[in-house]
Structure 1
Amino acid sequence: MEVVRYFAIYMLYFIGYVKGSPRGFDKVFNGSSPSYYFFSHDLETWTGALLSCQILGGYLVEINSQKEYMFVKEASRATEGVSRWIGLSNKRQMDVWEWATSHEVYNETIFNMWATGEPDHFNGQKDESCVLLDKFEGDGKTHNFELADVMCDRREKYICEYNPPQIPKLAIGK
């Protein structure tokens, strides 16, 4: 069954590109260079989401600025308003939160996206190694599209990011 699902995702990718981005990557953020975003409708584990984004030609979103965070947060709110996987985890080293594709360490002193009290390894669960852009109310907590560490085997929707290749500008004459 997993093979069929990943084959279907691959076929969506193979069908073609639209507006310079893989099909379905329709939300655009223009930071220093444009990024396209895909907000899934299916549920995957964190690893499944990582693979699905790769099959689609992108990667689990990596949020690199406060401006991009606000864009992704608002787009998440407008797109079903549910929690979604992002590309942050501490799977390689406990309590070192690292982006899955770039392997850059998330520095919360530059801009903090963690919900109050997060990361918390809830109830002492050291296997809360993956991160959601979380929409949650309960247990005395309110997360309004802020980061929360959770168990990686949960099935959640996810956000993929795609950066088109940059074509160098040619300097012709003076």
Structure 2
Amino acid sequence: MINRIFAAGAAAALLASPLAAQDNGLVAGATVLGPQGNPVGTVDKVENGTVSLNTGKHVAALPTTAFGTSEAGPTITVTKDQLNAMIDGQMAEVDAKRDAALVAGATVVTRGGVTLGVVESVEGDNVVVAREDGPFALVRENFTMQGDALAVIFTEAQIEEALAAQAAATAAPEAASEDAAE
């Protein structure tokens, strides 16, 4: 399973060999090789100076300047295991910050920064968010940190759409039960 796309800042700081993307074979589908010539991952896309490198475990967003070149194709100065370990470490750090902030009473914002509500309760991975129009439930993985703010990974529109669909699905069986009782 491939984890979420992650800007591998620590990895980028360790990787230096400035060449332009078009000069070193960084195109979608290219295999990127590590220091011993072993595959590190496949380029998913190159956009705005950023390469999405798929290791099979993670998709890392790395600057084009993190890549070099060889006769065999684009290169990077770390192995697949090293890159995956760096990203695992960053993800653990982000998850720890999220978990520390995910407590009853914490304000929750949307991906767009709009205040969504307040955490009512956290039981294991289940989180209830209280809003003016009633509470709703999400799972821990639906939360992240946006700067210092606890945020859901959804926009306000996505939350509203999901709640409306849930309300409609709940109302349909109730209406059918009422019709059958008449």
> Normalising by the residue count of structure 1, what TM-score does the alignment of the two structures yield?
0.22
- From the two aligned structures, give the one with the greater strand fraction: 2
Pick 1 or 2: higher relative contact order, CA cutoff 8 A, min separation 6.
1
- From the two aligned structures, give the one with the greater helix fraction: 2
> Normalising by the residue count of structure 2, what TM-score does the alignment of the two structures yield?
0.22
